[in-house]
Amino acid sequence: MSRAMEELRGYFAVHSQGLGHATRAVALARGLLERRRDLYFLFLAGSPALDLVVANGFDALTTPPAPDWEATNGVLGPVWRWYRDYARYLRIARRFLEHEADWDYYRFLLSDSELASAREAIRHRVPTALILDATRHDFARDPLSRLIEGPANFWASRIVRRADLILAAEPAPGWPNVRRIGPIVRGFSAPREQLREDFVFRKKTILVTVGGTAVGEFLIREAVQAFHDLKLDDVSMVVVSGPKLKADAAPGVYTYGFLPNLQDYLLAADLVITTAGKGTVNEALAAGTPVIAIPPKGHAEAERNAAVLGYRFEDIHRLRELIPQKLALGRLPPKPMGNDQAVEFLMDFLERAEIR
């Protein structure tokens, strides 16, 4: 029997704003492949998510990238501009999918927050499962942004409610297709001491990571300055600036751009300073590494993530106090994650998709 006849083929679409959606999708795809070796995923991803997907060994079709937030010194600008750019992206993505997607050959769609592909899959009656942080946005802070965000949420809800399955990481409406899931993280490739040896972490190590957008420049700047001011001789700093920023090396400060195995660095580090992206926070908690989470001001999701840990944007001015406190904590008990439950929901979805 040929490979094509043996496989259950599907698309795995990833929202390409940042890297958090891609890390969660990679973790779920690996979990599913461990359960079913006959699965084949072709990822639909734009940059920078595309780079992470490919670096983790998956095939991908390059799709138009989603727009980034506008921000100055860590403060988001009026989000009506993002909604305008996102509407333009949806039109471009629809035209791309109309020409490039083969909904007869690929028999299902998994989508981590990528609604353009979900809309097309549902229109073609292809079984569709969505993985979402929340079922509605609440980023608007000014009247014009609120005026636009309301209809945008209504449009998105019409698509989401028609999906066969929704895996929601945050509280969601009681729709019959909704299943609540816990945090999803990638597995670590080796024990912590082995990773520290591999990465040549000889001192206590602070890891600064700001995700895949350009919003986190403020945190890199302030964290490096606080580190220099503290003069911690027994501590080094590793800055992972992501694909859209560049950080300069300095005494005791080592820099990387893009790391496809960031979860291993989170485990090896002694403290993580982050812009409070859900993926980074969850992987740090799964590793048992203390976290300082400073969200961009106005980024509702990051602010919620940070608030759970007791942080807000204004804590950027307390880094000289917080860094020694958190380094003194040592290792923390690893938090349980929700990978197995999410994979089980998706396995049931795939079994139903197979018999359609």
Greater confidence (3 vs 110) lies with: 110
> Does pLDDT of 2 surpass 80?
no
Which of 139, 145, 95 is CA-nearest to residue 120? 95
Distances (CA, A) of 79 to 59, 67, 137: 33, 11, 11
The CA-to-CA distance between both ends of the chain, in Å, stands at 21
pLDDT computed for residue 1 by the predictor: 36
249 — pLDDT class (breaks 50, 70, 90):
confident
- Mean per-residue pLDDT, 102-122: 97
pLDDT computed for residue 322 by the predictor: 98
> Does pLDDT of 355 surpass 70?
no
Q: What is the DSSP secondary structure assignment for residue 250, as one 8-state letter?
A: B
> Does pLDDT of 227 surpass 60?
yes
- The helix/strand/coil state of 291 is strand
Say yes or no: do domains 3-184+338-354 and 192-327 share a fold: yes
pLDDT computed for residue 353 by the predictor: 84
CATH topology (fold) of 192-327: Rossmann fold (3.40.50)
49 — pLDDT class (breaks 50, 70, 90):
very high
Q: How many percent of the chain have pLDDT more than 90?
A: 91
> Does pLDDT of 143 surpass 80?
yes
Residue 148 dihedral angles phi and psi, to the nearest 5° = -85, -35
pLDDT computed for residue 3 by the predictor: 45
Q: What is the DSSP secondary structure assignment for residue 136, as one 8-state letter?
A: S
> Does pLDDT of 6 surpass 80?
no
Which of 83, 88, 93, 82 is CA-nearest to residue 13? 93
**Spatial separation of the C-alpha atoms in residues 112 and 130, rounded to whole Å:** 6
**Which architecture characterizes domain 3-184+338-354 according to CATH?**
3-Layer(aba) Sandwich (3.40)
279 — pLDDT class (breaks 50, 70, 90):
very high
Residues facing residue 207 across a β-bridge: 238, 272
H-helix segments, the chain = 3-6, 20-35, 49-55, 80-100, 115-123, 143-160, 192-199, 217-230, 262-268, 278-287, 300-308, 319-327, 339-354
**Domain locations in the chain as residue ranges:** 3-184+338-354, 192-327
| pLDDT tens by residue, 164-208 | 999 999 999 999 999 999 999 999 999 999 999 999 999 999 999
Q: What is the dihedral of CA 310, 313, 318, 324, to 10 degrees?
A: 50
* Least confident residue range of 30-39, 55-64, 243-252, 334-343: 243-252
**Spatial separation of the C-alpha atoms in residues 2 and 12, rounded to whole Å:** 23
356 — pLDDT class (breaks 50, 70, 90):
low
- Mean per-residue pLDDT, 126-134: 96
> Does pLDDT of 145 surpass 90?
yes
Q: How many percent of the chain have pLDDT more than 70?
A: 98
- Mean per-residue pLDDT, 134-146: 93
> Does pLDDT of 128 surpass 60?
yes
pLDDT computed for residue 161 by the predictor: 96
